[in-house]
Every structure is written in structure tokens, then in C-alpha cells.
Amino acid sequence: MTVKRLIAIALIFVLAAGAWLVLAGTVDYRTNNSDEALGARVEGLWGGPQAQPAPTFSAVSAGRNGALDLLGSDITADFKLDQRRKGLLWYATYAVDFSGAYRVKNAASAPATATFALQFPSAEGQYDGFVVDVDGKPVAVTYGNGSATGTFRLPAGATALVETSYRTQGLDSWTYVPVSQGVGAVKDFTLIMTTDFTKVDFPDGAVSPTSRGSQGGGTTMTWRYENLVSGRPITLTMPKPMNPGPLAARISMFAPISLLFFFAALVLLTATRGIRLHPMNYGFLAAGFFAFHLLFAYLVDRVDINVSFLIASVASVALCVGYLWMVLGAGKALVEIAVSQFVFLVLFSYSFFFEGLTGLAVTIGSVVTLGYFMAKTAHVDWESVFGKPKSAAISEPLSSGPA
């Protein structure tokens, strides 16, 4: 193999890398446009991320205004997940049944008119079955500015149990805010979340549950505190399947690395076996690699992500291996090249399905491949391999003309 051929192969690689960058940019553009249009539509139908502040309790007694003592809070939130795919993105929509029971006390020496005020997560949201009960009896509620307000009488030194509940729906996350402003104290606090899914997550800055269990394909999480001083919210992030758009863009962005590995393997395999491939052969093989990413990028918003990957893999491997079979004929070299494509294209790309493990998978694959080729070429006379060839091998793709 001459230096000119290596330069031509390098030029083909650079052109292919540019094509992949354009494809990755196209997929990213389609994804962002899809999110802007479809995301707003999904949020309009289901609502956005929900954040429920704790209610406030105030009292008017003998002409004085003040806050009631909140002795305890018992809250439950039951989630039903309903994941929806729109185009190149998944949206984690959910329904939640919320209920809260709050124990309050009138510490004043005179009867008071107490006021319960609950700010809803969103002024545009829908809250089905909303009720407010005091000691088991419903109270009249007024609505305005995205909140509900109810009043009740509370004798001096008496306590009351205020209960409220509703059913609503949201998107991506749900938050309960025990303290409305800054850092505050929360007494005898219990929040129990139940889900119909097991893959639960909590964002940075949120409070983790004090206990957690699984049953019946769901999860139960409990936050229980006797006397908590905190300003941090309690947030549950809903799980989503892997988003097809960003995945296709990442695979396309890193595709030049897989082609580089494949070209390096191809150069070593053909050089050590005395096979001469023309740079045009490398160009067609690069196009066969590109066919995988092109097919995957435009199938993934129409077909299941795993099915799309399988179709693209089979098509690309069939193109490259079939082409090399016509160029080289059947033999051990063809098998080794086919295995190289499977490793460097299919397995390399599939490693992106495992978030957080891609780098490790690529590193392990690179080290194993390096070790294999070091052992395979340890006794190769590179001077003769890269020297001027004595004669053309039968696999030379094109003849210069009639004899």
C-alpha cells in the first residue's frame, strides 16, 4: 500500500466525516423544531410540570390577624404514568391523585375565623373532584388567581383537621413545596408517593425519601419527619424512554470514530493478506456506513427505536459485505472484515443506548481491538507491506485497459 493510497483514503474519511456532521445537525434541527411545536401541544393538553405549594392557614381573632399553628401534615400523591411519543421525542405525561390532611390549632385565647388558602400548581390546570373538609364536614370554597380559599370557625385552643384532595395531570415532574418562602420549620410531616412504575428519579436539590419499597410493578416512597427545618422541595421526575432524536444525533456525531476504526482494521487486514483495495472501494464502504445512520435517522421517528436500529444495521452490513464479496470473493478475509464492521458499526452504535456507559464501552472495544491487531501483525514485515508491490493481486478492482 502506497502513501498516495493512504492519503486518498484519509481524504475519503474527511469527506464522510463532514457528511455525518451535516446529518447530525439535521437531526438536531428536526428534534428542536419538533419539541417547540409538539411540546407546546402536549403541555396544552396535559399541563406542564406540577409544583404544589403547601397551603397557608391564617386566623382573625378579636380584631387581630395571625397564623394558625400547623401541628402536622399527612399527604399522599398517587401517580399513573402515560408516556407519549411525538415525533423524535418522548413526553412523560402523568395523572396524579393528590390529598392532604393538615392539623391546625388556634393558640389564641379567643375564637377565631380561620382561613385556608391553597395555591394550585397552575392557574390554567384542571383539578377534578376538588374538596375541602374541616373535621369531616365540607366548607364553602371561593376561587381566584389560581387559588382556592375556604373559611371556618375555630374555638380558642381548639384543633381542626383540614383535608383537601383533587385529581389532575402534568408533564415530566411533580413537586411538593413544604415551605413557601425560604427556610422554614415543618412539624410531624409525612408525604407518601405511590407510582405504577419502578424507575424513579429525583433532581439535584430535591429531598430523597426516608424510606422506599416496591410492590406490584410500582414504587412507594415515604418522606417522614418529626421536626424538619428546610427550604428544599420534594420532587419526583417521571421516567421517559430514550429519546430517538437526540440518540440519532449523537450516534451520527460520533460515527467518524467508528469509520476510523473500521478503515484502520481494513488497512491492516488487506495489507497483511496481500489484498489491494482501491480508494474508490473505501469510498463505497464509507457510503455503506453512512447508509446506516441515514436510515436510522429517518426511520426512528416512524418506527420503534430498536426496530429502526435493526433495519439500519442489516441494510448497512448487507451493503458493505455484499460489495466486498463481489470485490474480493468469499474467504477468511471477507469474514474478518464483516466481523470488523459488526463490531465497529453495530456494536459501537448500540453502546449509545446505554447512557453513561458509552465511553467505557468504546474504550474497552478499542483496547481489545488494539490487542487483537497487535498480536495479528506482530510478525509482519512492514517494509515489504508498504513497499512497492511486485504485482497486482487478483482483487485489484479495476484494470487499466486492454492487454
Residues 151 and 262 in one domain: no
pLDDT tier at 161, thresholds 50, 70, 90: very high
pLDDT in tens, 35-69: 666 777 777 778 889 999 999 998 887 667 778 88
pLDDT in tens, 226-266: 988 877 889 999 998 888 999 999 999 999 988 998 988 88
CATH of the domain at 56: 2.60.40.3680
Q: Does residue 43 fall inside a structural domain?
A: no
Q: Does residue 220 fall inside a structural domain?
A: yes
pLDDT at position 76 is: 96
Residues 197 and 290 in one domain: no
**Within the chain, what is the greatest distance between any pair of CA atoms?**
117
Q: Does residue 390 fall inside a structural domain?
A: no
pTM of the model: 0.76
Q: Does residue 391 fall inside a structural domain?
A: no
pLDDT in tens, 167-206: 999 999 999 998 877 677 889 999 999 999 998 888 887 8
CB 77 within 8 A of CB 191: yes
Q: Does residue 352 fall inside a structural domain?
A: yes
Q: Does residue 392 fall inside a structural domain?
A: no
Residue 293 has pLDDT above 80, yes or no: yes
CB 133 within 8 A of CB 139: yes
Which range is least confidently modeled, 25-29, 95-99, 294-298, 367-371? 367-371
Residues 74 and 95 in one domain: yes
Q: Residue 347: give the domain boundaries.
A: 3-32+243-385
- How crowded is residue 124: how many other Cβ atoms within 10 Å of its Cβ? 11
Residues 75 and 181 in one domain: yes
Residues 287 and 181 in one domain: no
Residues 20 and 107 in one domain: no
pLDDT at position 273 is: 76
Residue 297 has pLDDT above 70, yes or no: yes
Q: Does residue 295 fall inside a structural domain?
A: yes
- Decide which of 194, 210, 237 is a domain's last residue: 237
Residues 18 and 124 in one domain: no
Residues 293 and 260 in one domain: yes
pLDDT at position 335 is: 87
pLDDT at position 105 is: 92
pLDDT at position 259 is: 92
Residues 108 and 209 in one domain: yes
DSSP letters spanning 385-398: HSS--SS--TT-S-
Q: Does residue 41 fall inside a structural domain?
A: no
**253, amino acid identity:** M
pLDDT at position 385 is: 64
CB 205 within 8 A of CB 231: no
Q: Which three cell numbers stand for residue 137?
A: 364536614
Residue 398 has pLDDT above 60, yes or no: no
Q: How far apart are CA 385 and CA 41, in angstroms?
A: 62
- Decide which of 237, 269, 289 is a domain's last residue: 237
Which range is least confidently modeled, 17-21, 180-184, 199-203, 305-309? 180-184
Q: Where are the alpha helices (DSSP H) in 132-278?
A: 244-253, 255-272
CA distances from 141 to 98, 116, 388, 399 (A): 18, 9, 93, 91
**131, amino acid identity:** V
Residues 83 and 141 in one domain: yes
Beta strands at 173-177 and 50-53: parallel, antiparallel or unpaired: parallel
pLDDT at position 232 is: 85
**Backbone torsions φ then ψ of 234, nearest 5 degrees:** -110, 115
CB 42 within 8 A of CB 139: no
Residues 309 and 285 in one domain: yes
Q: Which three cell numbers stand for residue 366?
A: 478499542
pLDDT at position 174 is: 94
Q: How far apart are CA 141 and CA 145, in angstroms?
A: 13
Residues 247 and 345 in one domain: yes
CB 189 within 8 A of CB 66: no
- Decide which of 237, 253, 282 is a domain's last residue: 237
CA 47 vs. chain centroid, Å, equals 20
Q: How many domains does the chain have?
A: 2
